[in-house]
């Protein structure tokens, strides 16, 4: 600690009139007295001790009375100390210097920190000094501790680097696995696309013949119910032609979207598959709260409804039921999809339900719970169609005994997105 500069203007010999008591406050004196470092104030060119703290007395092995008022060189025999004191007193420079190391490890080694005490006109009137005493072994121990601390810091840095590299490696492994899975799926999709293209070409010929036969058969039927069945058959043949032509919807329909009513689509599809449901002992209910006029690709929506209805019939056992529910979508759901208006279509069944671990995978291509009977493409194609028109599809399911069942809910906006 450097005491505040002595600014008294007494023109006296600095070496004899350094008044330490007047230059230090009581609080500063208390701090200096309890300071663990040996500290002393020396006056004049003879370096007379004017103040020593308790630590300095212990270092010099003398009492304050034996030290204060006497030149430093007379009471202690520290080598190199006098030369350093003279230099600081004469030049006014701060000096920090250590004694040379001694050969024996048990010998003490002192370090001196000295700075001048300025009087009137910045003329040095004394020197303030602090002494630090350590043994050579202590110095080496300090050096070893510093190296250990530095090694610990470096080890911590290396550990962080290793953890970062390991995280990057794990990320690279995960990315590579995802890429491999994507390649496998892409290959499956490519094979399916080629197969679908071939099948579409082969199926178109008998479809054309069936369409011509239905056209020739229609005028021969006078019964109203028979004509209705023939009209439905024509619509289904047209839908089948579109499906094969689009190769399972692997490319977008080139036609423009048209306006049609969802309730008509639901009646058409459910009436067409009602005989199949009756053979299985399943009751199909319709709850149509709105006509659901939308602007979209009718063939695509028919395909979505057909896939969901067939899945419900496959999952439901005898004496079960399937419910088709069409209603206006709530405002909050329209806002989520950034649509001014929209409709919700729910197809619920009382079947066995979907296991929890399978619900997140039902929209993945080639995933099926039907075994050999399923292709795993129905829900994947349906989800793609719904997403393209700006809608969404969600599923709720439970496998609880006596209360099992599944519900697919589809949101469709009233306007087809640009």
Q: What are the residue ranges spanned by the domains of the chain?
A: 20-135, 253-413
Record the tokens describing residue 1, joined without a space: 């600690």
Residue with tokens 């040095």: 124
Neighbours of 305 (CB within 10 A): 22
Instruction: Provide the H-helix boundaries in 337-416.
Output: 356-359, 378-388
116, two tokens: 């001048």
Contact, 224 vs 218, CB < 8 A?
no
Digit-by-digit pLDDT tens for the chain (418 residues) are 444 433 333 333 443 344 455 555 667 677 778 888 889 999 888 889 999 998 899 888 889 899 998 998 888 877 678 888 888 888 888 888 776 655 444 455 678 888 888 776 777 788 988 888 765 555 566 567 667 777 777 788 888 888 888 888 998 888 888 877 766 666 556 556 555 656 666 677 677 777 777 777 777 777 888 878 888 888 777 777 766 665 444 444 456 788 899 999 999 888 888 888 998 999 999 999 999 899 888 888 988 998 899 889 988 888 899 999 999 999 999 999 888 899 999 999 998 888 888 877 887 777 777 666 666 677 888 888 898 889 999 999 988 888 889 999 999 998 866 6
DSSP string, 48-111: EEEEE-HHHHHHHTS-HHHHTTSBHHHH---TTHHHHHHHHHHH---EEEEPPPPSSTTSEEEE
Domain 253-413 is in which class?
Answer: alpha beta
Say what the pLDDT of residue 105 is. 45
CB 40 within 8 A of CB 52: yes
Within 8 A by CB and 6+ apart from 367, the residues are: 358, 361, 376, 380
Pick the CATH number of 20-135 from 1.10.1740.10, 3.50.40.10, 3.30.1180.20, 3.30.450.20: 3.30.450.20
Q: Pick the closest to residue 312 from 367, 349, 341, 361 (CA basis).
A: 349
Strand partners, 411: 344, 392
pTM of this structure = 0.45
Residue whose tokens read 């009513």: 261
Read off the tokens for 415: 């306007």
């Amino acid at each position: 600690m450097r005491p505040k500069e002595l600014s008294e203007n007494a023109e006296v010999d600095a070496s004899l009139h350094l008044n330490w008591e007047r230059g230090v406050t009581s609080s500063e004196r208390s701090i200096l007295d309890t300071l663990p470092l040996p500290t002393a104030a020396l006056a004049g060119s003879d370096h007379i001790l004017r103040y020593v703290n308790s630590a300095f007395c212990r270092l010099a092995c003398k009492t304050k009375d034996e030290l204060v008022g006497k030149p430093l060189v007379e009471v202690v025999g520290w080598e190199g100390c006098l030369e350093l004191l003279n230099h600081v007193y004469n030049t006014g420079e701060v000096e920090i210097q250590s004694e040379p190391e001694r050969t024996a490890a048990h010998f003490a080694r002192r370090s001196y920190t000295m700075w001048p005490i300025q009087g009137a006109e910045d003329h040095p009137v004394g020197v303030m000094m602090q002494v630090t005493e350590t043994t050579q072994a202590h110095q080496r121990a300090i050096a070893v501790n510093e190296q250990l601390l530095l090694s610990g810091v470096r080890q911590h840095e290396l550990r962080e680097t290793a953890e970062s590299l390991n995280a990057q490696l794990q990320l690279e492994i995960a990315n590579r696995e995802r890429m491999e899975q994507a390649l496998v799926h892409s290959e499956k999709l490519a094979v399916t696309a080629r197969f679908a293209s071939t099948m579409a070409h082969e199926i178109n010929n008998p479809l054309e013949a069936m369409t011509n036969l239905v056209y020739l058969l229609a005028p021969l039927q006078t019964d109203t119910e028979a004509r209705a069945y023939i009209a439905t058959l024509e619509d289904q043949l047209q839908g089948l032609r579109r499906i094969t032509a689009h190769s399972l919807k692997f490319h977008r329909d080139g036609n423009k979207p048209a306006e049609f009513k969802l309730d008509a689509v639901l009646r058409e599809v459910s009436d067409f598959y009602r005989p199949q449901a009756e053979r299985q002992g399943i009751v199909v209910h319709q709850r149509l709260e709105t006509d659901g006029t939308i602007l979209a690709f009718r063939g695509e929506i028919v395909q979505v409804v057909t896939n969901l209805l067939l899945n419900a019939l496959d999952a439901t056992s005898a004496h079960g039921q399937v419910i088709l529910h069409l209603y206006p979508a709530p405002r909050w759901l329209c806002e989520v999809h950034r649509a001014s208006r929209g409709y919700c279509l729910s197809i619920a069944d009382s079947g066995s339900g979907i296991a929890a671990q399978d619900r997140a995978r039902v929209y993945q291509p080639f995933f099926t719970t039907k075994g050999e009977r399923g292709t795993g493409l129905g829900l994947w194609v349906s989800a793609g169609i719904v997403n393209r028109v700006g809608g969404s599809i969600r599923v709720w399911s439970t496998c609880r005994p006596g209360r099992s069942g599944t519900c697919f809910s589809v949101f469709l906006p009233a306007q087809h997105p640009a």
